[in-house]
Every structure is written in C-alpha cells, then in structure tokens.
Amino acid sequence: MNMTQTRPAADAIAKDGRGKFPKHKLEELRGRGYVMFCVLLLIVIIFSIVYFIASRGLTPFASQGVSVGEMLGGLKWAPEADTPRFGALPFLFGSFATSLLAAVIAAPLGICAAIFMTEMMPKVGKNILQPAIELLAGVPSVVYGFVGLSVIVPFLRDVFPGQGVGILAGGIVLSVMILPTITTVATDALRSLPAGLKEGSYALGATRWQTISRLVIPTTLPSLMTGVVLGIARAFGEALAVQMVIGNAPHIPHSLTQSAATLTSIITLSMGNTTSGSLHNNALWSLALILLIMTFLFVFVVRLLERRVKHA
C-alpha cells in the first residue's frame, strides 16, 4: 500500500534530477530488501519445521524396524510393551471422525449465521453477531476443553450409555472452536457476491428465500466449502481441548460415546514422558508427520476449490 502511494511523489523528485542516487531508488531498494528478508526467513522457518518433523518421523521406518503398513493400518498401539506395536489407524480414524463430525455440526450453523448477517439483518449481524462469533476464536483451547469436561461430558454421560467421553464430545467441542472460521469465510463469500445478481433475482419476482436457496448458495458454494475445509483442517490439528474430552483409549470405538483417541491427543499425552531418540518418541513424531501430510492435503483441497471459484 505504502509503495504504490509514494511512487508518484518519488517519480516527481526523480524528474527534478536532484542527487546522484535518487531517494526513490533507495526506498525501492530498502523496501525490496526488507520484503525479501522476511520471505527468506519465512521459507527457512517453514523448511526447517518440515525437515525437523520429517527427519524424526521417518526414523522409526528407516532404522527402528517399524513398517509404514503397520503404522497406517495397524490396530494396536502399545509403544511401551515388551514387543512394541505401532498401529496408528485408531488415531487416524479418531481424527477424521471428530473433525468431520465437528464440520457436520458447525457448517449449517456457520453458513446460516453468515446468511443472516449478510442477507437478512446486516446491521444486527455486523454489530452484534459477528463480533460475538469472532470472540469464540479468541478463547484459549484449554478453556474449551475444561468446559467440555465440566458440561458436555457429564451431560452425554447422563443421556447416552457410556462414560460421556468420546468422539461425540470431541466433535461438539471442536464444532464450537471451528465455528468462527466457517462463519468468517462464508460471510466474506456472501458479501462479495455482486449486488446485481441478487437484484436481478428480486426483479424477476423471486422471494428472498428463493433468491438465497437457488442463487446465493449455489453461486458461493465453492467458497462456502473452502470455509468448511479450513474448519476441518483446524479441527484436525487441535490437540488440547480434544485430549481432555475424548478419553484417549487407543482403539477404534464402537459408538460415538465410547473412549477414542486422535493423532494430536496421543502426541500431547505422551510427548513429554518419552525421551528424545527413543522409539516411542520417534513414533510420536511419525504421527506428527502424518498430521502434517494431512494438513498439506487440506491446503490442496482448498486450492482446488478456489480454482473452481475463479472458473465459475
């Protein structure tokens, strides 16, 4: 922003021909240097994080005798047993189940909130509802976890069979956590819809509901889905709140209210208790690597959706 504004002024000085090394060139150089420095630093940071996780996470496969097939398809996780087993399928299942459940709960809520804020009552929406929902994003995850443990888990324990902990409790807690992401993206998408489209629809005699359901939602669907996928990615990576309410039994549960585990919950649970370099510790890094790869996939899906927006 700054650069584009100062350029005309700088050009004017250059035309005057004052100084051998014009000021605007120095500014240009400084600006470029600063941006390049930041970008390089960013690339170095990202690269070192990926390298660090990958180098630790690949050790169990490379030199400690764990097979990739066992890690991805094995059902038994017993890292401290006399013959350690590293089957992470229950955690993959748990991560997907909780994040998808969270999205199923949060997507209708978030998208409806966005429609309300943009199409129905923009003033109330912008002044009251939006700040309230954005507030949810600022609540620390340990607070969500504690609320989940104190309110949702006892409630589920009383209503359903089981101990209350499990995928359902995790999904509910996560749905509240990802609501701001989904709502914000959906609101931006709906706001950016050209007013002419809607006016045309109204001019043809369509009611507001007809306009929303047949025009607004279908046109913005790829953007809405982008929000949902971003929400799922956030839910996939959330650790602390889920760990407090999911129960952390390393098994695929038979019901939504039976103790289960996610990739993140197992990592936070055991990382501090294991010594770095031990097989157990490296296996946890492998889980982190799986998480990282999943996040890459989510980013990829978002890119695909964005491309569809441009084509539409």
Which residues of the shown chain bind another protein in the complex (CB under 8 A)? 1-2, 34-35, 38, 41-42, 45, 77-82, 149-150, 154, 157, 162-165, 244, 247-251, 253-254, 258-259, 261, 268-278, 280-281
DSSP-based three-state secondary structure for 76: coil
| Residue 270: Cβ within 10 Å count | 17
Closest separation in Å from C-beta 2 to another protein: 7
φ/ψ region of 171 (left if φ > 0, alpha if ψ in -120 to 50, else beta) reads: alpha
Closest separation in Å from C-beta 21 to another protein: 25
Residue 274: both structure tokens together: 């294991």
Element holding 66 (H helix, E strand):
none
Closer to another protein by Cβ: residue 154 or 200: 154
Inter-residue contact 94 to 79 (CB < 8 Å): no
Closest separation in Å from C-beta 273 to another protein: 4
Distance of CA 150 to the CA centre of its chain: 25
Closer to another protein by Cβ: residue 19 or 140: 140
Closer to another protein by Cβ: residue 20 or 276: 276
Closer to another protein by Cβ: residue 159 or 276: 276
Closest separation in Å from C-beta 107 to another protein: 26
Closest separation in Å from C-beta 171 to another protein: 17
Closest separation in Å from C-beta 47 to another protein: 14
- Distances from the Cα of 224 to the Cαs of 123, 172, 186, in angstroms? 22, 20, 5
Closer to another protein by Cβ: residue 169 or 178: 169
C-alpha span between 282 and 271 (Å, rounded): 9
Closer to another protein by Cβ: residue 1 or 203: 1
Inter-residue contact 187 to 118 (CB < 8 Å): yes
Closest separation in Å from C-beta 205 to another protein: 40
Inter-residue contact 267 to 224 (CB < 8 Å): no
C-alpha span between 133 and 13 (Å, rounded): 49
C-alpha span between 166 and 160 (Å, rounded): 11
> What is the greatest pairwise CA distance in the chain?
83
Closer to another protein by Cβ: residue 8 or 272: 272
